[in-house]
Structure 1
Amino acid sequence: MLKKIVLVLVALLAAFAIYVALQPSDYRVERTVTVDAPASEVFANVNDFHKWESWSPWAKIDPNAKIAFEGPEAGEGTVMTWDGNDDVGAGKMTLIESKPDEAVKIKVEFTRPFEGSTNSDFSFAPNGEQTDVTWTLSGMHNFVEKAFCLVMNGLDMMGSDLEKGLSQLKSASERS
């Protein structure tokens, strides 16, 4: 009887491993919000990492996180590093492309609790007196990350974070 249970468990684990392996490695999560402010106002809040504390969905999770900035005040080449509790981990964001009032592209590298990277891209499109802001996370998942996303609905979690951040960015930009 124990042998049958073990064989069933091994078969289930093998089936799960095959299912995970067959999932696409690339991912893309995208959300959009309309902000009642000009593109220049919203762009300024994203292009300057010093302003992220007012709207980032992760900024308030660990108020004791160590944040440091390198390079220019804003725009291409600016860098922000963070080192916080287990909920925010540690890593580095590098602004790699900045097109005023149009787009911001950021390379995010995580060092703790796991190593990995993602692309974090923002686009700003005028919509009358308003601005449509689209935030996209994209990259490649390894086997463990694919399994996590399947078990924990990781892409839905990322989408929820983007929605929260865009809502807070909308509030911060409309106050300015």
Structure 2
Amino acid sequence: MLEIIGAGVAVIIAAILVLAARQPDVCHIARSIFIAAPPERIFPLIDDPRASNEWSPFVKDPSVKLSYAGPERGVGAACDFEGNAKVGAGRVEIVESVAPSKVVVTLRLDRPMKCSNRVEFTIAPQNGGSLVTWDMKGRQPFLGKLFSLVMRPEKMVGGAFEQGLGDLERLVETARDEAAPTA
């Protein structure tokens, strides 16, 4: 009987490993939102790590420690972060900045697992506003593939992107409302 149970467990483990191996080699997550503002009003909130931390869902926890390096904005501006197990620790650094349409960031995670991702924000003018896209791509090693079977990154990280974009929209709208002259 124990041999049958052992064989069953071995088959289940083998099936999980095969399923993980068949996951994509690249993790790609993207979300977009329409914001009723021109790109010039949105861009500074993405091109400056201090400003982006006002709307980023990944640093909402007050226990997250942040430190900044390089220029205040644009290429070379960086933010090191260290938080709980959910946030982890790592660094974001702007590697490309094309005002007012694109900011490319490298995201290096040191924990909970090591990885490096390319994060690209694009801001495209549209009728009465801008389409803002938050796009992340990174190599997915076997351990990441195995992890993705349990903790769906598309849903988990995609949900965080949606929250962050919504907070960015509210921040832009609040700044617009505060800047509007009163009658």
TM-score calculated relative to the size of structure 1 = 0.96
**Which deviates further from its counterpart, 51-60 or 123-132?**
51-60
What is the distance in 2 between the residues matched to 1:11 and 1:173?
A: 53
**1:30-41 equivalent positions in 2, closer than 5 A:** 30-41=30-41
TM-score calculated relative to the size of structure 2 = 0.92
Task: Give the equivalent residue in structure 1 for 2:82.
Answer: 83
- CA displacement 1:24-56 (0-9 Å, x = unmatched): 111211111000111011111000001123210
Letter in structure 2 aligned against 1:103: K
**1:103-114 equivalent positions in 2, closer than 5 A:** 103-114=102-113
- Any gaps of 5 or more consecutive residues in structure 1? none
What is the distance in 2 between the residues matched to 1:53 and 1:140?
A: 25
Q: Give me the identity figure in percent.
A: 33
Paired residues of 1:45 and 1:52 also in contact (CA < 8 A): yes
What is the distance in 1 between the residues matched to 2:81 and 2:21?
A: 32
Paired residues of 1:38 and 1:129 also in contact (CA < 8 A): yes
Q: 3-state DSSP class of the match of 1:54?
A: coil
Q: 3-state DSSP class of the match of 1:175?
A: helix
Task: Give the equivalent residue in structure 2 for 1:3.
Answer: 3
Task: Give the equivalent residue in structure 1 for 2:25.
Answer: 25
Letter in structure 2 aligned against 1:168: D
Q: 3-state DSSP class of the match of 1:114?
A: coil
Paired residues of 1:29 and 1:138 also in contact (CA < 8 A): yes
- CA displacement 1:114-167 (0-9 Å, x = unmatched): 111111110000012201001101111111111111212122111101100100
Note the C-alpha offset of 1:19: 1.5
What is the distance in 2 between the residues matched to 1:23 and 1:104?
A: 29
- CA displacement 1:49-107 (0-9 Å, x = unmatched): 011232101121x2022111111110011110011122211100010000001100000
- 1:133 correspondence with 2:132: yes
Q: 3-state DSSP class of the match of 2:57?
A: coil
Paired residues of 1:52 and 1:59 also in contact (CA < 8 A): no
- Any gaps of 5 or more consecutive residues in structure 2? 176-183
Letter in structure 1 aligned against 2:14: A
4+ runs of 1 displaced by more than 3 Å? none
What is the distance in 1 between the residues matched to 2:83 and 2:16?
A: 33
What is the distance in 2 between the residues matched to 1:158 and 1:84?
A: 17
Paired residues of 1:108 and 1:120 also in contact (CA < 8 A): yes
Paired residues of 1:126 and 1:132 also in contact (CA < 8 A): yes
Paired residues of 1:28 and 1:137 also in contact (CA < 8 A): yes
Task: Give the equivalent residue in structure 1 for 2:181.
Answer: none
